[in-house]
Amino acid sequence: MGLYSKKSERIDTENAFKIGPQIRSIEEQGKKVIKCNLGEPDFPVPGFIKEEVKRQLDLDNTHYCDPQGIPSLRKAIAKQLSETRRIQATPDRIVVFPGAKPPIGLCQQTYCDPGDEVIYPSPGFPIYESFIKYVDARPFPIHLREEKNFTLSGEDIQSLLTKKTKIIFLNFPSNPTGGVASPEQLQDISEVIRRRCTEDVRIFSDEVYENILFDGAKHHSIISCPGMEKVTILVSGASKSFSWTGGRIGWALFPTLEEAEVFRNLNINYFSCIPPYNQEGARLALESPLSQNAIRSMVNTFQERRGIVIDGLNRIKGIRCQKPKGAFYVFPNISEVCENLGIMEAFQSLPPDLQKKTSPSTLFQMFLLFEYQVATMDRKSFGRIGAESFHYLRLSFATDTDSLKEGLRRLSIASQDKKGFGQFFKKREHLYLEY
């Protein structure tokens, strides 16, 4: 009998957090790392939200509170969801969590028995796939194709549906591709779900980037399509919209009161409650007319940076990159760079056990980090199953413009540095993300 349960060996991770120690070890050598790996807005929390949190602390609002989320915040969420999604959201079907992440695993635990099937986008947020293995469900990735603008259709979902399908994850705007769904596309997906799924199948609609949309686009949700409110779990939160990843406030609207009660009880078991002073801050963020300007200013900055990054990337020989419509990531295709630098060949030359740990895009990611001090994420960090033949990186533009320009300059040189890659590879160090 070993120390750890079999189950605990099956959980995966989010590499964007894991790469931190590598970055720090390089910085300790006195080198400046350009951090395009981060999945969080690089702005302070808007002042009026901070003031409210401070005020709540001064009021000693620091004790246990309603494990489902304080009623005033749930009321504000219900109002915002009802207005923006054209639904009848009620506070009693809302549960507040410490971020938008916990409902991902908690939903899989709650709805899936071993052998049940989960459909999710790949590339996609890695925690979807991570938990599928943990709960002993079966993963069915929808491989999003660059030729189809990384989007997905009803047909893509239909081809994976079986009687065992239990949860379908959707994420628009998407991490890592920045793809969004049009109302027609959502309509198409919802028709398949209405036609082919029983009411026990749950759509997990991860809308945490709902406010980060470019070119004046509006957010659309599958929950607004006919018949979808009774099967959709709509998840969002304060992390991205209010640049408040450390506040750990997320929420989910469940189809039924009964389900909300199940998750309320899970909150009691896991967290007891979520810090009430931060919940009051999130309540004000949703209610205040000041939020619109704060979000607009952040999104305008992201949009300017998107222009710089897309232009810069597409000027680099061997890199091709689509313009994201939302979130703050770009997902360039680096296949040609991998060919030109001899990365494909180098990868093929590795023994099978090492090949399993790395990939061509991981080798380029590591070369960029250790030789050029640019931190990015590789394709495998967004779903491992079936990722071998896709060669992409994710770069976040949630970092200041000067750093982004410097990052692009370094990336451009690295992309032509065949000799440098050869030397890096020869050292046989840092060929994958070490833990």
Q: Return residues touching ligand PLP (CB under 6 A).
A: 39, 99-101, 125, 171, 175, 206, 208, 237, 239, 245, 250
Which of 250, 255 has the CB closer to ligand PLP? 250
- Residue 423: how many other CB atoms lie within 10 Å: 12
Going by C-beta distance under 8 Å and a sequence separation of 6 or more, which residues neighbour residue 9? none
H or E stretch covering 295 = helix 290-315
- Report, in Å, the least distance between residue 29 CB and ligand PLP: 29
- Report, in Å, the least distance between residue 180 CB and ligand PLP: 13
- Report, in Å, the least distance between residue 419 CB and ligand PLP: 36
Nearest to ligand PLP by Cβ — which residue? 99
Distance CA 116, CA 134 (A): 12
- Report, in Å, the least distance between residue 176 CB and ligand PLP: 8
Q: Classify strands 117-122 and 138-143 as parallel, antiparallel or unpaired.
A: parallel
Q: Name the nearest CA neighbour of 233 among 210, 249, 251.
A: 251
Going by C-beta distance under 8 Å and a sequence separation of 6 or more, which residues neighbour residue 154? 188, 189, 190, 191, 192, 193
- Report, in Å, the least distance between residue 121 CB and ligand PLP: 10
Which of 87, 127 has the CB closer to ligand PLP? 127
- Report, in Å, the least distance between residue 107 CB and ligand PLP: 12
- Report, in Å, the least distance between residue 244 CB and ligand PLP: 9
Rg of the chain (C-alpha set): 22
Q: Is 424 helix (H, G, I), strand (E, B) or coil?
A: helix
Which of 252, 433 has the CB closer to ligand PLP? 252
Q: Is 138 helix (H, G, I), strand (E, B) or coil?
A: strand
Which of 324, 360 has the CB closer to ligand PLP? 324
Instruction: Please name the amino acid found at residue 166.
Output: K
Distance CA 186, CA 167 (A): 16
Which of 242, 424 has the CB closer to ligand PLP? 242
Which of 42, 206 has the CB closer to ligand PLP? 206
Please tell me what DSSP assigns to residue 228.
-
Q: Are 144 and 394 in contact (CB under 8 A)?
A: no
Which of 225, 235 has the CB closer to ligand PLP? 235
